Amino acid sequence: MSALVPTGSHPVTLFDSSPTYQMACRQLDEVAKAINLDPGIAQRLMVPKRSQVVAVPIRLDSGQVRTFIGYRVQHSLTSGASKGGLRYAPSVDLGEVAALAMWMGWKCGIMKLPFSGAKGGIACDPSLLSIGEKERLTRRFTEEVLNIIGPRIDVMAPDMGTDEQTMAWIYDTYSMKVGYACPEIVTGKPVELGGCVGRKEATGRGVVYCIREALEELRLRAVESTAVVQGFGNVGSVTCEELYQLGVKVIAIGDRYSAIRNPHGIDIPALVKYTSDPKNPLKSLKGFPGADEIAPDELLGIPCTILVPAALERVITGENARKLNCRILAEGANGPTTPDADAILADSDIYVIPDILCNAGGVTVSYFEWVQDLQQFMWSEEQVNAQLKKLMLGAFHRVRDRAKERGMTNRLSALSLGVEKVATEKAKRGLYP
Ligand code: NAD
């Protein structure tokens, strides 16, 4: 059973057995205590508004039929259309998706975006599916959740295991159903289809805007800093590229298949080329000639200035948090640090840039994309990047200011800002009927 709100009981839900959902509830519980949240509203915020579980049968290339399980969870519908990624990974389950939807709600809150939080996923291993199988899976999933999505209802975007192409298939399937081209049904789609320039890079760029502010506050110089990054997908690779451009030496990187290290700094453009080679369809780091292979469990403890988890949730735990050897922990992934680890980090000198702030660049540019598609008026990359920077820095300083004023950790400050925005909207709208 997950943590309880301060007064009143937490209703028993289908999500309770998930450690990721328990983690999200524990965080909300801490925020509720810290800001003295109305218990009735705290309870409403703890339980997702709407969840849909769907069977997604597809014909595999072999001719066999296989059924996958898909999920879409809308944490709330209070703050505008719900917004959040679609994840393809073997670990996806209802509780994980519910937790990610809740975090999306807080993230949109900190960034002051007119969205509620949502998330979706299909339990599958996309590396084992052909392109045709992925297309059939995506189109059938879209059909199955059609009753709860829409440009003013719920808008999907890429997440782990999905990309621009996945969004293009959702856009096409939805448009075929409604009978007109409707690019505003998804964000993170190809630019040629109404995608926003700079959306693909936005999350990694936002991570690095935050890192720059933290380095400045700590009076550290980028060119004298080192970084270790877990994950070399969308978020991890762009973060590495941006850090490399700043002169930060990226000395180790890990992915699902291996981890590599070069104390002199990894040649990031060469690694991007290596992982984008069609002969490397898994985009694996394995065998990259410019670095040595290391045991993946060594990665997070390597001494460095900046550690960036940019892959999975719950990788920094009560067991390994004391082994971290970094000055800044910049959370590119969602939920990489458990509350037990947080308690340990709060007593250390590690400067945490919490996930819901650090990786908010993605949803911020998704918001720009949605606005452009609704207005059918597209922005230049300069406009997108300037607005992204402005919104990220604004949120960064709101989080830091509250943390300093109230003596809170950055995580509690960020979460409380996000929760407060949604809670205020709920309170002002009142309870129907
Ligand atoms: P991605 O699928 O593009 O890349 C995931 C990376 O993680 C890959 O390099 C993969 O090999 C690696 N990985 C998978 N399992 C691993 C394991 N067991 N150990 C180490 N590495 C492993 O996904 P992404 O879009 O870059 O998302 C990464 C994280 O960032 C997720 O937590 C996601 O929710 C979060 N996020 C993504 C966005 C976005 O815009 N894509 C926005 C905000 C947050």
- Does the C-beta of 231 come closer than 6 Å to ligand 1? yes
Residue type at 422 in one-letter notation: V
Q: Is 312 in the pocket of ligand 1 (CB under 6 A)?
A: yes
Q: Quote the DSSP letter at residue 314.
A: S
Any ligand 1 atom below 6 A from CB of 239: no
Range of the domain at 305: 200-358
Together in a domain, 151 and 218: no
Which CATH number covers residue 347? 3.40.50.720
Instruction: Report the greatest alpha carbon distance in the chain.
Output: 64
Please tell me what DSSP assigns to residue 424: H
What integer pLDDT is reported at residue 4 of this predicted model? 41
Could you tell me if 350 and 204 lie in one domain? yes
Same domain, 157 and 298: no
| 231 and 175 in a common domain | no
Distance from C-alpha of 198 to C-alpha of 111, rounded to nearest angstrom:
18
Residue 408, in any domain of the structure = no
Q: What is 252-289 written as a DSSP string? A: EEE-SS-EEE-TT---HHHHHHHHH-TT-TT---TT-T
- Digit-by-digit pLDDT tens for the chain (433 residues) are 344 443 345 677 889 899 999 999 999 999 999 999 999 999 999 999 999 999 999 999 999 999 999 999 999 999 999 999 999 999 999 999 999 999 999 999 999 999 999 999 999 999 999 999 999 999 999 999 999 999 999 999 999 999 999 999 999 999 999 999 999 999 999 999 999 999 999 999 999 999 999 999 999 999 999 999 999 999 999 999 999 999 999 999 999 999 999 999 999 999 999 999 999 999 999 999 999 999 999 999 999 999 999 999 999 999 999 999 999 999 999 999 999 999 999 999 999 999 999 999 999 999 999 999 999 999 999 999 999 999 999 999 999 999 999 999 999 999 999 999 999 999 999 999 9
Residue 380 lies in a domain: no
Per-residue tokens: 379: 């922005």
- Ligand 1 within 6 A of 164 CB? no
> Which atom of ligand 1 is found nearest the CA of 158?
41
Check whether residue 141 and residue 286 sit in a common domain: no
Distance, CA of 255 to CA of 299 (rounded, Å): 10
Number of domains in the chain: 2
In a domain, 398, yes or no: no
Specify if 234 maps to a domain: yes
Please name which of 363, 367, 357, 364 lies closest in space to residue 398, comparing C-alpha atoms: 357
In CATH, what number is assigned to the domain containing residue 122? 3.40.50.10860
Question: Which H or E run includes 109?
Answer: helix 94-110
Q: Is residue 14 part of a domain?
A: no
- Residue 119 CA to ligand 1 centre (angstroms): 15
Q: What is the pLDDT of residue 12?
A: 77
CB-CB contact of 88 with 256 (8 Å): no
Q: What is the pLDDT of residue 11?
A: 72
Choosing from 342, 358, 374, the residue where a domain stops is 358
**Ligand 1 pocket, residue 236 CB under 6 Å:** yes
Same structural domain for residues 118 and 148?
yes
Residues 152 and 224 in one domain: no
Single out the residue in 333, 358, 383 at which a domain terminates: 358
pLDDT at 2: 41
Do residues 166 and 263 both lie within one domain?
A: no
Domain boundary among 181, 209, 229: 181
- Extract the tokens encoding 39: 């218990």
In whole angstroms, what is the distance from residue 346 CA to residue 192 CA? 45
Q: Are residues 102 and 251 in the same domain?
A: no
* Token pair for 286: 């394995």
Beta carbon of 160 within 6 Å of any ligand 1 atom? yes
In a domain, 366, yes or no: no
Omega of the bond prior to 433 within 30 degrees of 0, cis? Answer: yes
**Same structural domain for residues 133 and 273?**
no
Q: Provide the H-helix boundaries in 277-313.
A: none
Q: Are 244 and 269 in contact (CB under 8 A)?
A: yes
Residues 166 and 212 in one domain: no
Residue 225 lies in a domain: yes
Whether 176 maps to a domain, the answer reads: yes
Q: For ligand 1, atom 23, which residue shows the shortest CA distance?
A: 160
Q: Per this entry, what is the length of the chain? A: 433
Ligand 1, from 125, 159, 205, 275: best to mutate by most atoms within 8 Å of Cβ? 159
Residue 415 CA to ligand 1 centre (angstroms): 22
**Ligand 1 atom 21: the closest Cα is on which residue?**
255
Q: Residue 54, exposed/middle/buried by CB under 10 A (0-12, 13-18, 19+)?
A: middle
Residues 237 and 319 in one domain: yes
Chain centre distance of CA 316 = 16
Residue nearest to atom 22 of ligand 1 (CA): 256
